[in-house]
């Protein structure tokens, strides 16, 4: 997240259209990272990580230990 924030600050300062046109500041691209989008991204990552970790763990917990350790 720190890298994304740094890149957005660096890229957000690049003047595109306003460098060639007078009064073209409104046409420039402004990259903004809001705290709400960071919180949403972290929340989604936590949910996806938990679900993707729990499914194999539940399946492994339901196996018979002897069958799980047996080599084909």
Same domain, 2 and 16: yes
Q: What is the pLDDT of residues 29-54, one digit of tens each?
A: 677 778 888 899 999 999 999 999 99
Which residues fall within 8 angstroms of residue 14, CB to CB, at 6 or more apart? 29
Confidence of residue 66 (pLDDT cuts 50, 70, 90): confident
How many structural domains comprise the chain? 2
Model confidence at 17: pLDDT above 70: no
Which residues constitute the domain of residue 68?
34-72
Same domain, 48 and 68: yes
């Amino acid at each position: 997240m720190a890298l994304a924030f740094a890149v957005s600050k660096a890229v957000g300062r690049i003047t595109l259209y306003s460098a060639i046109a007078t009064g073209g500041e409104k046409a420039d691209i402004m990259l903004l990272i809001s705290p709400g989008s960071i919180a949403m991204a972290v929340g989604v990552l936590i949910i996806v990580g938990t679900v993707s970790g729990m499914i194999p763990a539940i399946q492994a917990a339901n196996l018979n230990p002897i069958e799980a350790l047996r080599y084909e």
